[in-house]
């Protein structure tokens, strides 16, 4: 299955309509309906108070100022002050409420994205850069949050204010109102025309930011290699290239996001000029009063000022939509490693049974072609072959990190797809050549994914490790179980990392143990200790060894040669050696 996020984005012929995207955006805060309803009410109240204030001002001028009734002026000034204070309180409360909604939405959205990442198969992470995924979790979700917590209510409030002002303009004087609103029609046509362009520029900017994050993450992860080969110049060159690309994309997005502002400002000034010119003429003709003209000018401001704000908010909206497209694209993926209901037991003595199994990576050549073999309980099997021959792929299929393209794989007499991830992990132990460690202690890393010992004290856990013959390995760490481990594993040797991975797998007492070059970074003395520990596993444990060091496979019950899509029983150790030498020459 194609899990490439960038490829999926490029395949979209057209973007979702704005209102469809907005509906999906609002859907992620559906649990906040009560708070949103209160916020909407606050917006209506604030708009009503502001619009009413403009009418009160005009009424006061015509009724009290022109007649020099100062008592009436003071009374209505007090009424205006009360209205504006109430509007201030309502607006402030609404802003605080939306800030809370935005933060809860951000928390929920990031959880959803991260949980989705947890559900997706290894294939997904092979096809996408981790830096870009981090950018989607951090930057893109923050763009969506900024729109919700800071822009959405102002956006809606502006539309409500504009609608109310437009209605009042038309009610007060229809011809003058139509003339005043005419520039808005030009703005609508212009905005509709440039919005897709603005959205594309923002999407390109976010994508380049994801690429920048990916490049930084990759370079820092491999910084030891950069220093070892003295290729800081390459590091700098690569960073300059992606940084310049990000600069150009961000600059274009910045220009696109500000293109509406001057046009909206010009339209607002044009609308006020129309009202002022026609209004004065109406006053001269006796159709209008001075107070009504001032109210009319206030309503024009109430219409065009929010419109100018909407120009800036529209750019924020387009940025949020672009970010949401990237997030929703990720959320749309489903794990193709589904658990089937095929729980039928098959009549076979093999613990692992491959029948006509083929496998290809997405957009890649076939790695395995109709291979068949059996692994029986309690026996040790070795898989050898040239680099790239398919050994690790075979091990990955045995542990169902991938699904076969064709054929049948049975695990303990049942279709391997019928096991849940938890059931499969309990049966299979996998030790990689490059062990993965997590921040914490040796204890945390040993017990990762192992619920059986999670409540044990250190003393109880040490006793359990002694029973599994792992005590000698634990002594290699200065503070035992409490030895601190960094996420990168810095501070301990590569061999010690491998020992932790070894203890983690053995302590689970798996029915099938896969060692993929597991002893490559371990000295000979320690390797002998590990062999003793492996011999202490239950007699029914099936062991699969993938190795280039031939001394590690001499005692295997059966050796398989993996190369060119085929898996062949190698026979004796000497025959296996000949096949390996032949395969290396061919490759």
Q: What tens digit of pLDDT does each residue of 111-121 get?
A: 888 888 888 88
At residue 409 the predicted structure's pLDDT band, cuts being 50, 70 and 90, is very high
What are phi and psi for residue 68, nearest 5 degrees? 60, 35
- Confidence (pLDDT) at 358: 93
Separation CA 78–CA 56 (nearest Å): 11
> What is the average pLDDT across 457-470?
88
What are phi and psi for residue 282, nearest 5 degrees? -65, -40
**How many C-beta atoms lie closer than 10 Å to residue 131's C-beta?**
21
| Domain range 377-401+425-586, CATH class | alpha beta
- Confidence (pLDDT) at 542: 93
Q: Is the pLDDT of residue 449 over 90?
A: no
- Confidence (pLDDT) at 352: 94
- Confidence (pLDDT) at 579: 66
* Sequence-ordered strand ranges (E) for 385-447: 406-411, 414-415, 428-431, 440-441
Q: Which residues contact 427 (CB under 8 A, 6 or more apart)?
A: 411, 412, 419, 510, 511, 512
At residue 585 the predicted structure's pLDDT band, cuts being 50, 70 and 90, is low
Determine the 3-state secondary structure of 154 from DSSP.
Answer: helix
Q: Is the pLDDT of residue 227 over 80?
A: no
At residue 53 the predicted structure's pLDDT band, cuts being 50, 70 and 90, is confident
- Confidence (pLDDT) at 490: 61
Place of tokens 């279709």: 415
Q: Report the phi/psi class of residue 323: left, alpha or beta, with left for phi > 0 and alpha for psi in -120 to 50.
A: alpha
Determine the 3-state secondary structure of 75 from DSSP.
Answer: helix
Separation CA 230–CA 140 (nearest Å): 35
> What is the average pLDDT across 269-274?
79
Q: Is the pLDDT of residue 13 over 90?
A: no
Q: Which residues contact 232 (CB under 8 A, 6 or more apart)?
A: 226
What are phi and psi for residue 493, nearest 5 degrees? -75, 165
What one-character DSSP code corresponds to residue 65? I
Q: Where are the domains of the chain?
A: 5-331, 377-401+425-586
Nearest C-alpha neighbor of 196 from the set 185, 186, 184, 204: 204
As given in the structure block, the two tokens for residue 530 are 């590990």
> What is the average pLDDT across 16-43?
69
Mean of pLDDT over the chain: 80
> What is the average pLDDT across 552-574?
81
Q: Which residues contact 156 (CB under 8 A, 6 or more apart)?
A: 40, 43
At residue 14 the predicted structure's pLDDT band, cuts being 50, 70 and 90, is very low
Element (H, E) at 559: strand 558-563
Write 446-455 long-range contacts (CB < 8 A, 24+). Answer: 446/481, 446/500, 446/503, 446/504, 446/507, 447/504, 447/507, 448/504, 449/425, 449/508, 450/504, 450/507, 450/508, 452/508, 453/507
Q: Which residues contact 329 (CB under 8 A, 6 or more apart)?
A: 5, 8, 9
**How many C-beta atoms lie closer than 10 Å to residue 192's C-beta?**
10
What are phi and psi for residue 2, nearest 5 degrees? -85, 115
pLDDT 10s digits, 75-132: 888 888 888 898 888 888 877 877 777 777 778 888 888 888 888 887 787 777 777 7
Q: Is the pLDDT of residue 374 over 90?
A: yes
pTM of the model: 0.64
The answer to whether residues 210 and 287 touch, using CB atoms and an 8 Å cutoff, is: no
Nearest C-alpha neighbor of 336 from the set 64, 2, 86, 61: 2
- Confidence (pLDDT) at 283: 76
Q: pLDDT higher for 365 or 346? A: 346
Handedness of CA 261, 266, 271, 273 (dihedral sign): positive
CATH architecture assignment, domain 5-331: Up-down Bundle (1.20)
Q: pLDDT higher for 103 or 231? A: 103
Lowest mean pLDDT among 125-134, 220-229, 409-418, 545-554: 220-229
Q: Is the pLDDT of residue 7 over 80?
A: no
* Sequence-ordered strand ranges (E) for 361-480: 366-375, 380-384, 406-411, 414-415, 428-431, 440-441
Put the strands of the sheet holding 380-384 in their side by side order: 428-431, 512-516, 542-546, 380-384, 558-563, 566-569
Handedness of CA 234, 235, 241, 244 (dihedral sign): negative
- Confidence (pLDDT) at 230: 63
- Confidence (pLDDT) at 562: 87
At residue 33 the predicted structure's pLDDT band, cuts being 50, 70 and 90, is confident
Q: pLDDT higher for 147 or 170? A: 170
């Amino acid at each position: 299955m194609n899990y490439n996020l960038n490829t999926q984005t490029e395949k979209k012929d057209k973007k979702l309509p704005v209102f469809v995207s907005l509906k999906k955006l609002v859907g992620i805060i559906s649990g906040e309906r009560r708070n949103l309803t209160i916020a909407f009410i606050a917006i209506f109240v604030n708009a009503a108070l502001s619009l009413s204030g403009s009418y009160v001002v005009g009424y006061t001028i015509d009724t009290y100022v022109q007649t020099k009734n100062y008592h009436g002026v003071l009374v209505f000034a007090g009424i205006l002050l009360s209205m504006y204070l109430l509007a201030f309180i309502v607006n402030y409360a609404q802003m605080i409420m939306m800030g809370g909604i935005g933060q809860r939405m951000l928390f929920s959205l990031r959880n959803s994205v991260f949980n989705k990442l947890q559900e997706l198969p290894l294939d997904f992470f092979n096809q996408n850069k981790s830096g870009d995924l981090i950018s989607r979790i951090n930057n893109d979700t923050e763009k969506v949050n900024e729109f919700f917590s800071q822009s959405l209510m102002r956006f809606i409030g502006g539309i409500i204010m504009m609608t109310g002002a437009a209605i009042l303009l038309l009610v007060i004087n229809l011809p003058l109102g139509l003339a005043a609103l005419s520039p808005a029609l030009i703005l609508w046509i212009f905005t509709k025309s440039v919005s897709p362009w603005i959205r594309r520029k923002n999407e390109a900017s976010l994508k380049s930011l994801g690429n920048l994050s990916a490049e930084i993450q990759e370079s820092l992860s491999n910084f030891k290699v950069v220093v070892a080969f003295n290729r800081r110049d390459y590091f700098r060159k690569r960073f300059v290239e992606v940084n310049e690309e990000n600069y150009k994309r961000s600059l274009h997005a910045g220009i696109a996001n500000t293109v509406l502002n001057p046009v909206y400002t010009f339209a607002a000034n044009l609308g006020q000029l129309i009202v002022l010119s026609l209004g004065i003429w109406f006053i001269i003709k006796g159709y209008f009063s001075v107070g009504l003209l001032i109210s009319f000018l206030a309503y024009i401001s109430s219409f065009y000022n929010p419109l100018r704000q909407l120009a800036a908010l529209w750019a924020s909206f387009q940025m949020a939509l672009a970010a949401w497209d990237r997030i929703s694209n990720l959320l749309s993926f489903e794990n193709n490693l589904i658990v089937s209901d095929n729980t039928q037991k098959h009549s076979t003595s093999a613990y692992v049974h491959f029948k006509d199994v083929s496998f290809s990576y997405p957009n890649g050549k076939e790695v395995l072609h109709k291979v068949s073999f059996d692994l029986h309980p309690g026996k040790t099997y070795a898989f050898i072959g040239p680099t790239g021959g398919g050994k690790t792929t075979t091990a990955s299929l045995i542990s169902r990190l991938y699904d076969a393209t064709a054929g049948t794989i049975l695990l303990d007499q049942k279709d391997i797809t019928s096991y849940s991830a938890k059931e499969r992990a309990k049966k299979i132990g996998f030790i990689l050549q490059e062990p993965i460690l997590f921040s914490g202690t040796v204890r945390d890393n040993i017990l990762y994914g192992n619920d059986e010992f999670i409540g044990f004290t250190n003393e109880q856990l040490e006793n359990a490790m002694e029973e599994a013959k792992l005590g000698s390995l634990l002594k290699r760490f200065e503070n035992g179980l409490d030895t601190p481990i960094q996420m990168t594993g810095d501070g301990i040797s590569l061999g010690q990392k491998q020992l932790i991975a070894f203890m983690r797998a053995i302590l689970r007492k798996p029915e099938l143990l896969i060692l993929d070059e597991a002893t490559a970074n371990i000295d000979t003395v320690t390797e002998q200790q590990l062999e003793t520990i492996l011999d202490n596993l239950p007699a029914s444990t099936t062991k699969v060894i993938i190795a280039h060091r031939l001394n590690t496979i001499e005692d295997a019950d059966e050796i398989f040669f993996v190369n060119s899509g085929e898996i062949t029983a190698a026979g004796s150790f000497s025959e296996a050696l000949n096949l390996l030498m032949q395969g290396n020459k061919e490759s």
